[in-house]
Amino acid sequence: MQIRFFIILVIGLVIWSCEEESKLEKQIAEIDIDFYVERFDKAFFEAEPKDLQKLKEAYPFFFISDPDSFWIEKMNDSLQNELLGEVQEKFPDVNTATKELEGLFQHLKYYDKTFKAPRVITLTNDVAYRDKTFVNDSIVLIALDNYLGASHPFYQNIPMYIAANMEEDQIISDVANGYASKYNFQTRRSTLLDEMIYFGKLLYFKDIMIPFKTDAEKIGYSDAQLKWAEANESQIWSYFVEKEFLYSTNSKLPSRFVGDAPFTKFGLELDNDSPGRLGQYLGWQIVKAYAEKVEDDVLKIMQTEPEEIFRNANFKPKK
Protein backbone atom coordinates (compact mmCIF):
# COMPACT_ATOMS: atom_id res chain seq x y z
CA MET A 1 0.00 0.00 0.00
CA GLN A 2 2.79 2.42 0.92
CA ILE A 3 4.66 1.64 -2.31
CA ARG A 4 1.53 2.29 -4.35
CA PHE A 5 0.98 5.61 -2.57
CA PHE A 6 4.62 6.59 -3.18
CA ILE A 7 4.34 5.80 -6.90
CA ILE A 8 1.15 7.85 -7.21
CA LEU A 9 2.84 10.74 -5.37
CA VAL A 10 5.87 10.67 -7.65
CA ILE A 11 3.70 10.57 -10.78
CA GLY A 12 1.66 13.48 -9.44
CA LEU A 13 4.78 15.56 -8.77
CA VAL A 14 6.12 14.86 -12.26
CA ILE A 15 2.84 15.90 -13.87
CA TRP A 16 2.71 19.06 -11.74
CA SER A 17 6.32 19.91 -12.64
CA CYS A 18 5.65 19.45 -16.36
CA GLU A 19 2.55 21.67 -16.15
CA GLU A 20 4.54 24.40 -14.39
CA GLU A 21 7.29 24.22 -17.01
CA SER A 22 4.69 24.41 -19.77
CA LYS A 23 3.15 27.53 -18.20
CA LEU A 24 6.60 29.15 -17.94
CA GLU A 25 7.44 28.39 -21.56
CA LYS A 26 4.13 29.85 -22.72
CA GLN A 27 4.89 33.00 -20.72
CA ILE A 28 8.38 33.27 -22.23
CA ALA A 29 7.00 32.72 -25.75
CA GLU A 30 4.89 35.86 -25.36
CA ILE A 31 7.94 38.10 -24.81
CA ASP A 32 8.35 40.50 -27.73
CA ILE A 33 11.81 40.46 -29.31
CA ASP A 34 12.62 42.84 -32.14
CA PHE A 35 15.48 41.69 -34.37
CA TYR A 36 16.23 40.28 -37.79
CA VAL A 37 19.13 38.43 -39.35
CA GLU A 38 21.25 40.44 -41.78
CA ARG A 39 22.86 38.42 -44.58
CA PHE A 40 26.27 40.03 -45.16
CA ASP A 41 27.38 36.79 -46.83
CA LYS A 42 24.60 37.10 -49.41
CA ALA A 43 25.13 40.84 -49.91
CA PHE A 44 28.85 40.31 -50.53
CA PHE A 45 28.21 37.38 -52.89
CA GLU A 46 25.86 39.48 -55.01
CA ALA A 47 27.97 42.66 -54.89
CA GLU A 48 30.17 44.12 -57.58
CA PRO A 49 33.16 46.43 -57.00
CA LYS A 50 30.92 49.47 -57.52
CA ASP A 51 28.82 48.32 -54.53
CA LEU A 52 31.76 48.26 -52.13
CA GLN A 53 31.12 51.71 -50.67
CA LYS A 54 27.53 50.77 -49.77
CA LEU A 55 28.75 47.64 -48.02
CA LYS A 56 31.31 49.65 -46.08
CA GLU A 57 28.61 52.06 -44.93
CA ALA A 58 26.30 49.25 -43.84
CA TYR A 59 29.01 47.15 -42.17
CA PRO A 60 31.89 49.50 -41.29
CA PHE A 61 33.36 47.15 -38.65
CA PHE A 62 34.21 44.57 -41.35
CA PHE A 63 36.33 47.05 -43.32
CA ILE A 64 38.57 48.63 -40.69
CA SER A 65 42.04 47.34 -41.58
CA ASP A 66 42.08 46.20 -45.22
CA PRO A 67 42.24 48.47 -48.28
CA ASP A 68 39.53 48.48 -50.95
CA SER A 69 41.83 46.52 -53.27
CA PHE A 70 41.75 43.58 -50.85
CA TRP A 71 37.94 43.43 -50.95
CA ILE A 72 37.72 43.86 -54.70
CA GLU A 73 40.20 41.03 -55.15
CA LYS A 74 38.10 38.93 -52.79
CA MET A 75 34.96 39.66 -54.84
CA ASN A 76 36.71 38.34 -57.95
CA ASP A 77 38.36 35.34 -56.28
CA SER A 78 36.98 32.06 -57.68
CA LEU A 79 37.49 30.06 -54.48
CA GLN A 80 35.81 32.75 -52.44
CA ASN A 81 32.86 32.78 -54.82
CA GLU A 82 32.63 28.99 -54.66
CA LEU A 83 32.52 29.16 -50.88
CA LEU A 84 29.88 31.88 -50.91
CA GLY A 85 27.90 29.98 -53.54
CA GLU A 86 27.83 26.85 -51.38
CA VAL A 87 26.58 28.92 -48.45
CA GLN A 88 23.76 30.42 -50.55
CA GLU A 89 22.75 26.96 -51.75
CA LYS A 90 22.69 25.54 -48.22
CA PHE A 91 21.06 28.63 -46.72
CA PRO A 92 18.67 30.22 -49.27
CA ASP A 93 17.05 31.52 -46.09
CA VAL A 94 17.82 31.38 -42.37
CA ASN A 95 14.27 30.92 -41.14
CA THR A 96 15.11 28.04 -38.79
CA ALA A 97 18.03 29.86 -37.22
CA THR A 98 15.94 33.03 -36.90
CA LYS A 99 13.15 31.20 -35.07
CA GLU A 100 15.60 29.51 -32.71
CA LEU A 101 17.43 32.78 -32.07
CA GLU A 102 14.11 34.35 -31.16
CA GLY A 103 13.55 31.57 -28.62
CA LEU A 104 17.02 32.08 -27.15
CA PHE A 105 16.56 35.87 -26.94
CA GLN A 106 13.14 35.49 -25.30
CA HIS A 107 14.63 33.25 -22.63
CA LEU A 108 17.55 35.63 -22.11
CA LYS A 109 15.13 38.54 -21.72
CA TYR A 110 13.05 36.61 -19.19
CA TYR A 111 16.03 35.78 -16.96
CA ASP A 112 18.00 38.99 -17.56
CA LYS A 113 15.74 42.05 -17.67
CA THR A 114 18.63 44.19 -18.98
CA PHE A 115 19.04 42.04 -22.10
CA LYS A 116 18.52 43.77 -25.45
CA ALA A 117 18.32 41.91 -28.73
CA PRO A 118 21.60 42.31 -30.62
CA ARG A 119 22.33 42.98 -34.24
CA VAL A 120 22.62 39.54 -35.87
CA ILE A 121 24.75 39.17 -39.00
CA THR A 122 25.66 36.11 -41.04
CA LEU A 123 28.95 36.00 -42.93
CA THR A 124 31.73 33.63 -43.97
CA ASN A 125 35.17 33.33 -42.38
CA ASP A 126 37.03 30.92 -44.68
CA VAL A 127 35.92 27.95 -42.53
CA ALA A 128 37.73 29.15 -39.41
CA TYR A 129 35.86 26.48 -37.44
CA ARG A 130 37.20 27.53 -34.05
CA ASP A 131 35.47 30.90 -34.51
CA LYS A 132 32.09 29.84 -35.86
CA THR A 133 30.23 32.49 -33.89
CA PHE A 134 30.98 35.72 -32.06
CA VAL A 135 28.80 37.13 -29.28
CA ASN A 136 28.90 40.37 -27.32
CA ASP A 137 26.33 42.75 -25.84
CA SER A 138 25.40 44.37 -29.12
CA ILE A 139 26.23 41.96 -31.94
CA VAL A 140 26.09 38.29 -32.89
CA LEU A 141 28.10 37.05 -35.87
CA ILE A 142 27.44 33.65 -37.42
CA ALA A 143 29.88 32.25 -40.01
CA LEU A 144 27.58 30.08 -42.10
CA ASP A 145 30.41 28.38 -44.01
CA ASN A 146 31.01 26.39 -40.80
CA TYR A 147 27.54 24.80 -40.92
CA LEU A 148 27.37 23.19 -44.37
CA GLY A 149 27.13 19.62 -43.04
CA ALA A 150 29.71 17.21 -41.63
CA SER A 151 30.38 15.48 -44.95
CA HIS A 152 30.82 18.64 -47.02
CA PRO A 153 33.93 18.52 -49.28
CA PHE A 154 35.21 21.77 -47.77
CA TYR A 155 35.68 19.89 -44.49
CA GLN A 156 37.64 16.90 -45.80
CA ASN A 157 40.86 17.99 -44.07
CA ILE A 158 39.15 18.79 -40.76
CA PRO A 159 39.17 16.06 -38.07
CA MET A 160 35.92 14.10 -38.19
CA TYR A 161 35.09 14.73 -34.54
CA ILE A 162 35.14 18.47 -35.25
CA ALA A 163 33.33 18.27 -38.60
CA ALA A 164 30.58 16.26 -36.90
CA ASN A 165 29.34 19.48 -35.30
CA MET A 166 29.55 21.62 -38.42
CA GLU A 167 25.83 21.16 -38.93
CA GLU A 168 22.97 23.64 -39.15
CA ASP A 169 21.43 22.36 -35.92
CA GLN A 170 24.55 23.53 -34.02
CA ILE A 171 24.10 27.22 -34.86
CA ILE A 172 21.84 28.01 -31.91
CA SER A 173 23.89 25.83 -29.55
CA ASP A 174 27.06 27.73 -30.49
CA VAL A 175 25.39 31.13 -30.07
CA ALA A 176 23.94 30.06 -26.70
CA ASN A 177 27.40 28.90 -25.68
CA GLY A 178 28.73 32.37 -26.47
CA TYR A 179 26.16 33.95 -24.17
CA ALA A 180 26.80 31.33 -21.48
CA SER A 181 30.49 32.24 -21.51
CA LYS A 182 29.58 35.89 -20.93
CA TYR A 183 27.53 35.08 -17.83
CA ASN A 184 29.86 32.41 -16.44
CA PHE A 185 32.23 33.39 -13.64
CA GLN A 186 34.71 31.49 -11.48
CA THR A 187 37.58 32.93 -9.46
CA ARG A 188 39.74 30.02 -10.54
CA ARG A 189 39.98 27.12 -12.98
CA SER A 190 42.93 25.25 -11.54
CA THR A 191 41.62 21.74 -10.83
CA LEU A 192 39.96 19.21 -13.08
CA LEU A 193 36.75 19.67 -11.09
CA ASP A 194 36.91 23.43 -11.68
CA GLU A 195 37.07 22.80 -15.43
CA MET A 196 34.33 20.19 -15.35
CA ILE A 197 31.93 22.49 -13.51
CA TYR A 198 32.87 25.50 -15.65
CA PHE A 199 31.74 23.63 -18.76
CA GLY A 200 28.89 22.04 -16.84
CA LYS A 201 27.52 25.51 -16.16
CA LEU A 202 27.69 26.36 -19.87
CA LEU A 203 25.64 23.26 -20.66
CA TYR A 204 23.14 23.91 -17.86
CA PHE A 205 22.71 27.43 -19.23
CA LYS A 206 21.62 25.82 -22.51
CA ASP A 207 19.11 23.65 -20.63
CA ILE A 208 17.40 26.85 -19.51
CA MET A 209 17.90 29.10 -22.53
CA ILE A 210 17.34 26.66 -25.40
CA PRO A 211 15.07 23.97 -23.91
CA PHE A 212 13.71 23.27 -27.40
CA LYS A 213 17.03 21.60 -28.35
CA THR A 214 17.90 18.02 -27.40
CA ASP A 215 20.59 17.19 -24.86
CA ALA A 216 22.66 15.66 -27.67
CA GLU A 217 22.48 18.92 -29.64
CA LYS A 218 23.40 20.99 -26.59
CA ILE A 219 26.63 19.07 -25.94
CA GLY A 220 27.37 18.27 -29.58
CA TYR A 221 27.07 14.48 -29.29
CA SER A 222 25.30 12.04 -31.55
CA ASP A 223 22.38 10.23 -29.95
CA ALA A 224 24.57 7.13 -29.66
CA GLN A 225 27.34 9.08 -27.93
CA LEU A 226 24.91 10.56 -25.41
CA LYS A 227 23.49 7.11 -24.65
CA TRP A 228 27.05 5.82 -24.14
CA ALA A 229 27.78 8.62 -21.67
CA GLU A 230 24.55 7.96 -19.77
CA ALA A 231 25.12 4.20 -19.67
CA ASN A 232 28.70 4.57 -18.39
CA GLU A 233 28.20 7.56 -16.08
CA SER A 234 28.77 5.61 -12.87
CA GLN A 235 31.89 3.87 -14.20
CA ILE A 236 33.40 7.15 -15.40
CA TRP A 237 32.70 8.86 -12.07
CA SER A 238 34.25 5.99 -10.13
CA TYR A 239 37.35 6.24 -12.31
CA PHE A 240 37.78 9.96 -11.54
CA VAL A 241 37.29 9.38 -7.81
CA GLU A 242 39.58 6.35 -7.56
CA LYS A 243 42.37 8.11 -9.48
CA GLU A 244 41.94 11.20 -7.26
CA PHE A 245 41.67 13.38 -10.35
CA LEU A 246 38.93 15.78 -9.21
CA TYR A 247 41.16 18.08 -7.16
CA SER A 248 44.30 17.48 -9.18
CA THR A 249 45.99 20.52 -10.75
CA ASN A 250 47.77 18.37 -13.35
CA SER A 251 47.58 20.52 -16.49
CA LYS A 252 47.31 17.45 -18.73
CA LEU A 253 44.00 16.29 -17.29
CA PRO A 254 41.69 18.90 -18.93
CA SER A 255 42.95 17.98 -22.40
CA ARG A 256 42.27 14.30 -21.66
CA PHE A 257 38.82 14.66 -20.17
CA VAL A 258 37.39 18.11 -20.95
CA GLY A 259 38.87 19.35 -24.23
CA ASP A 260 37.51 18.58 -27.67
CA ALA A 261 38.79 15.20 -28.83
CA PRO A 262 37.67 12.15 -30.83
CA PHE A 263 37.39 10.14 -27.61
CA THR A 264 38.13 10.48 -23.90
CA LYS A 265 41.60 9.31 -22.88
CA PHE A 266 41.14 7.02 -19.88
CA GLY A 267 43.94 4.70 -20.95
CA LEU A 268 41.45 1.81 -20.90
CA GLU A 269 39.95 -0.53 -23.47
CA LEU A 270 36.77 1.53 -23.53
CA ASP A 271 38.56 4.62 -24.87
CA ASN A 272 37.77 4.09 -28.56
CA ASP A 273 34.07 3.56 -27.79
CA SER A 274 33.79 6.73 -25.73
CA PRO A 275 32.91 10.23 -26.96
CA GLY A 276 35.23 13.10 -26.13
CA ARG A 277 34.59 15.71 -23.44
CA LEU A 278 33.14 13.32 -20.88
CA GLY A 279 34.44 15.63 -18.16
CA GLN A 280 32.08 18.27 -19.52
CA TYR A 281 29.22 15.78 -19.50
CA LEU A 282 29.85 14.89 -15.83
CA GLY A 283 30.21 18.55 -14.90
CA TRP A 284 26.81 19.11 -16.50
CA GLN A 285 25.24 16.39 -14.36
CA ILE A 286 26.79 17.89 -11.22
CA VAL A 287 25.41 21.36 -11.99
CA LYS A 288 21.98 19.93 -12.77
CA ALA A 289 22.00 18.07 -9.46
CA TYR A 290 22.90 21.32 -7.68
CA ALA A 291 20.19 23.27 -9.50
CA GLU A 292 17.57 20.75 -8.39
CA LYS A 293 18.49 21.35 -4.74
CA VAL A 294 18.59 25.15 -4.68
CA GLU A 295 16.13 27.85 -5.64
CA ASP A 296 18.71 30.01 -7.39
CA ASP A 297 17.96 31.13 -10.93
CA VAL A 298 20.30 30.26 -13.77
CA LEU A 299 22.21 33.56 -13.70
CA LYS A 300 23.08 33.15 -10.03
CA ILE A 301 24.19 29.58 -10.66
CA MET A 302 26.46 30.82 -13.43
CA GLN A 303 28.19 33.01 -10.83
CA THR A 304 28.48 30.27 -8.20
CA GLU A 305 31.91 28.85 -7.40
CA PRO A 306 32.63 25.20 -8.34
CA GLU A 307 33.35 24.09 -4.79
CA GLU A 308 29.98 25.36 -3.55
CA ILE A 309 28.20 23.66 -6.44
CA PHE A 310 29.99 20.36 -5.89
CA ARG A 311 29.62 20.40 -2.11
CA ASN A 312 25.87 21.03 -2.22
CA ALA A 313 25.00 18.99 -5.31
CA ASN A 314 25.41 15.67 -3.49
CA PHE A 315 25.94 14.23 -6.94
CA LYS A 316 25.23 10.55 -7.44
CA PRO A 317 25.85 9.14 -10.93
CA LYS A 318 23.26 7.08 -12.75
CA LYS A 319 23.73 3.37 -12.15
pLDDT band at residue 10 using 50, 70 and 90 as cut-offs: very low
pLDDT of residue 9: 44
pLDDT of residue 20: 66
Q: Is the pTM of this model over 0.75?
A: yes
pLDDT band at residue 272 using 50, 70 and 90 as cut-offs: confident
pLDDT above 80: residue 181: yes
Task: Identify whether the C-beta of residue 203 lies closer than 8 Å to the C-beta of residue 220.
Answer: no
pLDDT of residue 271: 84
pLDDT tens profile 68-106? 999 999 999 999 999 999 999 999 999 999 999 999 999
pLDDT of residue 2: 55
Query: What one-character-per-residue DSSP string does 105-164 give?
Result: HHHHHHH-TT--PPEEEEE--SS-GGGSEEE-SSEEEEEGGG-S-TT-GGGTTS-HHHHT
Task: Identify whether the C-beta of residue 258 lies closer than 8 Å to the C-beta of residue 280.
Answer: yes
pLDDT tens profile 232-269? 999 999 999 999 999 999 999 999 999 999 999 988 87
Task: Identify whether the C-beta of residue 104 lies closer than 8 Å to the C-beta of residue 213.
Answer: no
